[in-house]
Amino acid sequence: MGNTSFIRHRRPRYAEFSRKLVKETQLSAENLVYPIFVQEEEGDTALSMLPGISRYGGKALINHVKEAYARGIPLVSLFPVVNQALKTETCNEAFSSDNLICRTIKDLKNAIPEIGLMADVALDPYNPNGQDGFVDTDGTVANDPTVEALVKQSKVLADAGADVLGPSDMMDGRIGLIREMLEHEGHHRTILLSYAAKYASALYGPFRNAVGSSNSLVGDKKSYQMDPANRMEAIREIRTDLEEGADWVMIKPGHTYLDIITECKSTFGVPTFAYHVSGEYAMWAFAAQHGVIDRKKSLMEILLSFRRAGCDGILSYAAFEAADIL
């Protein structure tokens, strides 16, 4: 043969030891954030739209979070299931220092002080119309009054002991004002994980069902959540939130927006998170449940793709199961 300098890309693939040595992307439980639905009632309530996922309350919640921490998951994200009677157009329950999430944060901090607790900042769980803010006279969400409310909500959550605040509302200017409040109130260590690029996606249905807002949403959220067709708009949104004081940024949804994750990481080089949202999880879970795909192998491949795209952290309902596999 004329060419003796044969290039064989398969050489490192033959043996397991060499495959491990040249693996470019690593995935561990430390990359996972576990979203948990919190209910007032003691015990757990299975969710039909999210196979394997339940709402938790009381001692059942504390025990479940303990199990998550024992599996190496460093951060859980708490989402309240607010009783319908507490939902008002003024969203006053969101600002109560004795609301479900504030009480839950205190209970979890007492029981498992080592685990990180993230609290969602948005008004939709407390709003009877399911919108993330106050609805204006033209039917859209009013930006500035909503931001004022989000600052008040952030204060009670930080006062309760939340380690991370996740503003998921997509209002303009809220990161700067929340950061200003946190500094003024002495919450210098509170991390802001901004949902900087949150798209108006069709993949949030199971989540809305889980928190009890699927039937109450009036209109849509296209006046504040992003158009799925837009990429550079996401970069502008992320840049603004970083300039206003965000520590970490979130892309949501995640698995269907891997290009946005990569663009964010390569442009800014900041801690980048993504949300493996309820619709994405449900598609995988139902397919795995019916034997269409291999459950463990497909889950590892999905989560690894987040890491390969540039994610530091992945919010996934499969985090508990993935930690067991890992």
The per-residue pLDDT for range 63-118, each reduced to its tens digit, is 999 999 999 999 999 999 999 999 999 999 999 999 999 999 999 999 999 999 99
Active site residue 87: no
d(CA 148, CA 90) in angstroms, rounded, equals: 12
Q: Do 76 and 34 meet the contact criterion of CB atoms below 8 Å apart?
A: yes
Which pLDDT belongs to residue 213?
Answer: 74
Tokens of 103: 């009480």
DSSP label at residue 308: H
What type of residue is 182? L
Flag whether pLDDT at 194 surpasses 60.
yes
Q: How confident is the model at residue 218 (pLDDT cuts 50, 70, 90)?
A: confident
Which is nearest to 27 in space by CA: 291, 326, 275? 326
Residue 296 annotated among the catalytic residues of the structure:
no
Residue 186: pLDDT over 60: yes
Question: 194: buried, middle or exposed (CB in 10 Å: 19+, 13-18, 0-12)?
Answer: buried
**Could you read off the pLDDT of 239-294 as tens digits, one per residue?**
999 999 999 999 999 999 999 999 999 999 999 999 999 999 999 999 999 999 99
Structural domains of the chain ordered from first start: 28-325 (3.20.20.70)
142-183: per-residue pLDDT in tens?
A: 999 999 999 999 999 999 999 999 999 999 999 999 999 999
- C-beta separation of 128 from 216 below 8 A: yes
Cis ω before 253 (30° cut-off from 0): yes
Beta carbons within 10 angstroms of residue 279's beta carbon: 20
Torsion of CA 102, 44, 313, 290, to 10 degrees: -160
Cα–chain-centroid distance for residue 63? 21
Cβ-proximal residues to 99 (8 Å cutoff; 6+ apart), any chain = 80, 93, 156
pLDDT recorded at residue 60: 98
Number of other CB atoms surrounding residue 174 within 10 Å: 27
What DSSP element (H or E) covers 76? strand 75-80
pLDDT of res. 4: 57
Q: Does pLDDT of 214 surpass 80? A: no
d(CA 274, CA 240): 18
Query: Catalytic: which of 155, 198, 221, 265?
Result: 198
pLDDT at residue 2 above 60?
A: no
**Among 87, 155, 221, 252, which one carries the catalytic annotation?**
252
Q: 3-state class of 186 per DSSP?
A: coil
Neighbours of 235 (CB within 10 A): 17
Q: Give me the pLDDT at residue 3, please.
A: 62
Q: Identify residue 205 by its one-letter amino acid code.
A: G
